[in-house]
Structure 1
């Protein structure tokens, strides 16, 4: 028997024992009857309310006559279990609604913080490129390397801060594509190795020759993306959506493609030496000249 099943049985036994124990101690005070059927105790409020009626006689009316006056008292029943439950329900409901509002406020605040972080990143990188006139610098200029290192550091930190926010991760990469810092840059080709891109929304993006070795692209949407000649050595692509992706000539050495959907993708000439492809969907994929040695 697996450890998980043992724990389920233990927890189930404890829960059942707790219910039985609670029933033993709670039912007798609530149910009062010596014979079947049981009758709920009055204080629980379960069942019909009892109305008590009393009559009194009063003598000595006007002119010495005797009058008989019947007085009927119909007292309201005392607070029952259900009355107390109603009293408790209101504050608990208010607490629950307050908690939900608080969680919603936190969610909105987190979204605003991530949006502010994205704008700060975009502004900072744009300022670096414009103020230093990167396009006019020579390829061997030491300033280019310093700017590249700064942008890489800020990019990796920003992507990591977005955690599970795939939309904003995709926005960062799209921005880098537009300013030609990833694969087609004349001055800077940004190295994004070890980048945190889990769950990133990158469908249809142009990522040719991008350097993403040892990056985390698990659960990412890369459908119809252009990853031709990309450096994906040791990259985590578990459960990634690569439907229709162009991976011609890509280096996927030791990449983790377990559970990835590669249906209809183009792996012509790709290097998958040592790659993990367990449960990967390769239906209709183009695999001519692909290297699967030790995969």
Structure 2
């Protein structure tokens, strides 16, 4: 019955539960009716009853009782009266078990079927919820695209952004300045207010898509393609981009201060000059990412994958890079003062002229790393592996070199 009810269009599991309770009650009534009929109506229909002698497991026995009495009739004569009573001995537990087996089986079977139906209903409910949630999110995303598109076209934001950026245009472009006009205060105010609206809507929709990495990526890619990030310099600080797939995205110069980029896919992503101060990049995938001149001061990069990443001239002062993978990364002239690189992997990394004063480098893998002219004053290199590292011109004044690993290939010429 429940399987048929589930086929009714529009019937949801919460409504289906209204039918399951009466079915259970009905099965209990069947059991009760059978039991009551046997004990109650059985006395009128001369059915076997559970006499005291019927306890145990065994076969039924016919019992005949003969009672002889001597009574006097009306004349006072003695008359012999014989009363014979015949009955069957009571049903045994075995018999009652057989008798009650059918309704009991029906109750158990009904309960099992009900549980199965309930599980199916819950599964169907979950599937319907996911479908509804997916449709709602898709509708929200499309609405976001539509509203921003209207705003871009109606307010002509990209043109205003070009005007706003005019002082930053190269000298070659300035030669054609006659074709361009500087932005007016009214236009600048319109641009700023429009970008504030876009920022508010963007942060809101990213929060709504908290566990939806795919749609987060769609939002950011839309902003990139419409040049809101590039030309309009949209502020994305504190944005929730956890787990977002931004493979090879162009986020040059983007403001991502304190943004949540944990476990984000940033493989080959262009982040030159981006502001990532105090950003959360734990376990992010930044292999071969372009981070030249990026600001990563105080950023959290524990466990991040940075193999082959270009961090030339990047600001990493106070950054947390414990356990990060920086194999073959280019950190030339980067600022890593007071950064924490404990147990990080810097094999074959380029650290030429890098600032590493007071940096934590305990148990760091620096095999064959290029540390020529690097500043390692007061750096903690305890138990670091420097086998084959190039240290020509490096400054190791007052550095902690306790229990370091080195070999004959470890560079000489240390200051």
Partner of 2:154: 131
**Shift of residue 265 of structure 1?**
1.2
Query: Which secondary structure does the structure 2 equivalent of 1:79 belong to?
Result: helix
**Shift of residue 78 of structure 1?**
3.9
Partner of 2:258: 214
Question: Residue 259 in 1 paired to residue 303 in 2?
Answer: yes
Query: Which secondary structure does the structure 2 equivalent of 1:200 belong to?
Result: coil
- In the alignment, the residues of structure 2 paired with residue 86 and residue 243 of structure 1 have an alpha-carbon distance, to the nearest angstrom, of 59
Partner of 2:211: 164
**Shift of residue 136 of structure 1?**
3.8
**Shift of residue 143 of structure 1?**
0.8
**Shift of residue 176 of structure 1?**
0.6
Match of 1:196 among 224, 228, 240: 240
TM-score, normalisation: structure 2: 0.51
- In the alignment, the residues of structure 2 paired with residue 77 and residue 154 of structure 1 have an alpha-carbon distance, to the nearest angstrom, of 71
Question: Residue 145 in 1 paired to residue 192 in 2?
Answer: yes
Q: Bigger radius of gyration, 1 or 2?
A: 2
Matches within 5 A, 1:72-91: 78-79=100-101, 84-91=107-114
The more displaced of 81-90 and 124-133 is 81-90
Partner of 2:119: 96
Question: Residue 226 in 1 paired to residue 261 in 2?
Answer: no
- In the alignment, the residues of structure 2 paired with residue 86 and residue 201 of structure 1 have an alpha-carbon distance, to the nearest angstrom, of 50
- In the alignment, the residues of structure 2 paired with residue 228 and residue 272 of structure 1 have an alpha-carbon distance, to the nearest angstrom, of 14
Partner of 2:393: none
Partner of 2:333: 289
TM-score, normalisation: structure 1: 0.71
Q: Cα–Cα, structure 1 residues 239 and 82, in superposed 2: closer, same or farther, change >3 Å?
A: farther
Query: Which secondary structure does the structure 2 equivalent of 1:206 belong to?
Result: coil
Partner of 1:235: 279
Match of 2:145 among 122, 126, 143: 122
Partner of 2:406: none
| Bigger share in strand | 2
Q: Cα–Cα, structure 1 residues 244 and 87, in superposed 2: closer, same or farther, change >3 Å?
A: same
Kept in 1, the 8 Å contact 2:158–2:228? The answer is no
- In the alignment, the residues of structure 1 paired with residue 269 and residue 321 of structure 2 have an alpha-carbon distance, to the nearest angstrom, of 19
Counting matched residue pairs gives 225
- In the alignment, the residues of structure 2 paired with residue 265 and residue 282 of structure 1 have an alpha-carbon distance, to the nearest angstrom, of 7
Question: What do residues 236-285 of structure 1 show as CA deviations (whole Å, max 9, x unaligned)?
Answer: 10111111211111110000001111112111111110001011111221
Question: Residue 113 in 1 paired to residue 136 in 2?
Answer: yes
**Shift of residue 83 of structure 1?**
6.2
Question: Superposition RMSD on alpha carbons, in Å?
Answer: 2.2
- In the alignment, the residues of structure 1 paired with residue 207 and residue 99 of structure 2 have an alpha-carbon distance, to the nearest angstrom, of 63
